[in-house]
Amino acid sequence: MRRHRHAKIVATVGPATSAPETLKALFLAGVDTFRLNFSHGVQADHARVHAAIRALEEEVGRPIAILQDLQGPKIRVGTLRDGRLDVVPGQGLRFVLRGAEGDARAIPLPHPEIFAAVVPGQELLIDDGRVRVRVTGIETEALEAEVVIGGAISNRKGVNLPGTLLDLSPLTEKDRADLAFGLELGVDWVALSFVQKPADLIEARGLIGDRAGIMTKIEKPQALERIDDIVRLSDAVMVARGDLGVEIPHEDVPGRQKELIRACRLAVKPVVVATQMLDSMVAAPTPTRAEASDVATAIYDGADAVMLSAESATGRYPVEAVTMMDRIIRSVEGHKLYRSLIAASEPGEEETPPHAVATATAQLAEAVHASAIVAYTLSGTTAARIARKRPSVPILALTPDLGTSRRLSLLWGTHSVRSDEVGTYEAMVENALIHAAEEGFAAANDVVVVAAGIPFAVPGNTNNIRIAQIPAT
C-alpha cells in the first residue's frame, strides 16, 4: 500500500472519526499518522482508538504512527460574578491571585508564576488576543492593567503572555498521568505543548526515554529565541501556528514557518505544519482557495507532514478533508516548479561521513535513474539523512524495529517496512531487492541504490552504498 507522494498527512481523531470503520476510511484516503488530542476526551476513549488503530495496522499490513498530543499548562482567568465583563480601551483593570468570583477590580488570575514574572509594560492577551491589556503596576498578589483592545472577558478564557518567560513546566500533573498512560499503550510520538526553553525537553526526556519520539510544538516566542537547541533536543517539531500566531504578529508567522522547516531539515528532524490548514472543511465539503494555497506553501517549503485538527476530529467531512489534502500534496509535488523550489530551500549540512554518504546516496540514485533508494536503518537516522536531501527517488526504509518503522511513517518520502536483520553483505543486497519488488517500487531489470551501515546494527553508522539490479524474470 504505497503512497504516491512524498509529504505525509497527520489527522486528529475525535468524535467524528473514532469508529474503526472511519479510521480505516481515513487511512485509505491517505492518513499516515493519527493524532490523539489529550486536551479532550478521557483515557478510556483514547485507549479504544489506540486499539482500533493497531487492529487496522494489522489488517492493512502497514506501520501506522500514533501521536499523543499532551494538553500542557492552560493559563486562564477565573470566574466572573456575572459570567462576563465588557471592557473598553483605556479602562483600568485589576487582576488578583486569589478570589472566587470577580469584577473589574478583582479579576481572578490563579497563576502565581505570572505574578512572579510579569513586569510593567508587558501585555496580557485574553481569549486568543481578542482582549489585550498592558500591565501598569505590580503588587505581591495583584496586577494593575490598562485595556489596550476592548471586548468581552468571560469565565475561564485563556491568557497568553508573549513577552514573559514563565517558570512553568510544560508537563502538568494531568500531563504526567496521561504520558504514563500513553507510554503504557505504546504511542509512537509524544507532542509537548508550552515548550519555552531547552530544559523543558530535558525534563520530558527523563520521563519518556526512548519509549517514544518527542515532538516539540513551537507555539511560544520564547522557544524561537532558543530554537537551535530546542530542535537539537527534539525528535520532531510541530509548527503550531494557531497558538504561535496569538503571541507573535500574524504577518511574522509565514516567515517563521519557513525558518522552522529549514532548521529542522538542517538538523535532520521531521517537521509538521499544523493548525487550520483546511479549516472551512469542518463545515463544508471543499476548502477555500486560500486554504489550498496554504497547504501547498508548506509542501513547497519542504515540510515532512501537514496536519488536520478539527477538520478530522469534529468536522462533517473528515474523509473528504484527507482526500483533499492528499490531492493538494500530489498536485504540488507534480508541479514543474516543485523540484527547483525544494532545491533552492535546501540548507547546508554537517560535514561528517554519514551525512556525506547519505547525500551521495540521494545524488547517485537520481543520476542512475534508480527506481528506489533502499535504506537499512535501526534508529531511523539513515533514512532521515537521505530524506533530508528531498530526492526525487522514493525511499524504502528497512528496519527490524517495529517502533522505528512506525515513527518513519512521519518522514518525508519514506515508505517504511519492518524487516528481519541481515548478517552478511550479500544478504543485505538480496533482501533489499526482494522488498523493493514486493512493495511495488521496482520491477525486473530496475536499478535500486542500497544504503547501509557496516557493521550492521550500529545506529547512525551510514557508510556503504551499493547499486543493485532486480534480476530479470
Cell triple for residue 356?
556525506
* Residue 308 three-state SS: strand
Per the annotation, the verdict on 35 as an active-site residue is yes
Per the annotation, the verdict on 389 as an active-site residue is no
Angle 289-301/253-267 helices, nearest 10 degrees?
30
pLDDT of 29-45, one tens digit each?
999 999 999 999 999 99
What are the φ and ψ backbone dihedral angles of 460, each rounded to 5 degrees?
A: 75, 10
* Residue 93 three-state SS: strand
Say how far apart CA 10 and CA 30 lie, in whole Å. 9
pLDDT of 171-217, one tens digit each?
999 999 999 999 999 999 999 999 999 999 999 999 999 999 999 99
The model's pTM: 0.94
Residue 457 scores a pLDDT above 80? no
Say how far apart CA 66 and CA 193 lie, in whole Å. 17
In this prediction, residue 104 carries a pLDDT of: 85
Burial zone of 4 (CB within 10 Å; 0-12 exposed, 13-18 middle, 19+ buried)? exposed
Contact between residue 390 and residue 396 where contact means Cβ atoms under 8 Å apart: no
pLDDT band at 454 (very low <50, low <70, confident <90, very high): confident
pLDDT of 397-422, one tens digit each?
999 999 999 999 999 999 999 998 88
Say how far apart CA 299 and CA 327 lie, in whole Å. 12
Cell triple for residue 456?
550492521
Say how far apart CA 6 and CA 8 lie, in whole Å. 7
In this prediction, residue 153 carries a pLDDT of: 95
Per the annotation, the verdict on 390 as an active-site residue is no
Mean pLDDT of 115-126: 95
Kindly give, in sequence order, each residue whose CB lies less than 8 Å from that of residue 450, ignoring residues fewer than 6 positions away. Answer: 373, 374, 375, 376, 428, 429, 432, 465, 466, 467, 468
In this prediction, residue 350 carries a pLDDT of: 67
- Amino acid of residue 107: I
For 267-296, b/e burial (b = at least 16 CB within 10 A) is: bbbbbbbbbbbbbbbbeeeebeeebbebbb
Residue 455 scores a pLDDT above 90? no
Cell triple for residue 53?
488503530
Say how far apart CA 114 and CA 111 lie, in whole Å. 6
End-to-end, the C-alpha distance of the chain in Å comes to 23
pLDDT band at 232 (very low <50, low <70, confident <90, very high): very high
Q: What percent of the chain has pLDDT over 70?
A: 99
Measured between alpha carbons, how far is residue 124 from residues 88, 119, 232 in Å?
15, 11, 30
Say how far apart CA 149 and CA 132 lie, in whole Å. 5
In this prediction, residue 62 carries a pLDDT of: 96
Contact between residue 193 and residue 71 where contact means Cβ atoms under 8 Å apart: yes
Q: What number of H helices and E strands is found in the chain?
A: 17, 23
Beta pairing partners, 138: 143
Mean pLDDT of 116-135: 95
Catalytic residue among 216, 275, 377, 404: 275
Measured between alpha carbons, how far is residue 453 from residues 16, 270, 300, 365, 395 in Å?
44, 21, 31, 17, 16
Q: If you write DSSP's letter for every residue of 136-170 in order, what string do you get?
A: EEE-SSEEEEEEEE-EEEETT-BEE-TT------S
- Amino acid of residue 324: M
Mean pLDDT of 81-88: 92
Average pLDDT, the chain: 95
Catalytic residue among 35, 258, 388, 406: 35
Per the annotation, the verdict on 74 as an active-site residue is no
pLDDT of 12-69, one tens digit each?
999 999 999 999 999 999 999 999 999 999 999 999 999 999 999 999 999 999 999 9
Kindly give, in sequence order, each residue whose CB lies less than 8 Å from that of residue 7, ignoring residues fewer than 6 positions away. Answer: 298, 299, 303, 304, 305, 306, 329, 333, 412
- Strand 33-37, strand 65-69: pairing: parallel
Q: What length does the chain have?
A: 473
Question: How many CA atoms lie within 13 Å of 47's alpha carbon, on the beta-carbon side?
Answer: 10
Catalytic residue among 54, 76, 327, 330: 76
Measured between alpha carbons, how far is residue 160 from residues 123, 126, 147, 165, 227 in Å?
9, 6, 15, 11, 20
pLDDT of 316-340, one tens digit each?
999 999 999 999 999 999 999 999 9
Q: What percent of the chain has pLDDT over 90?
A: 90
Contact between residue 426 and residue 404 where contact means Cβ atoms under 8 Å apart: no
Residue 458 scores a pLDDT above 90? no
pLDDT of 236-290, one tens digit each?
999 999 999 999 999 999 999 999 999 999 999 999 999 999 999 999 999 999 9
Say how far apart CA 408 and CA 378 lie, in whole Å. 11
Catalytic residue among 5, 62, 217, 256: 217
Measured between alpha carbons, how far is residue 207 from residues 46, 176, 213, 381 in Å?
20, 9, 12, 22
Contact between residue 469 and residue 447 where contact means Cβ atoms under 8 Å apart: yes
Burial zone of 251 (CB within 10 Å; 0-12 exposed, 13-18 middle, 19+ buried)? exposed
Cell 518525508: give the residue.
412
Mean pLDDT of 359-386: 95
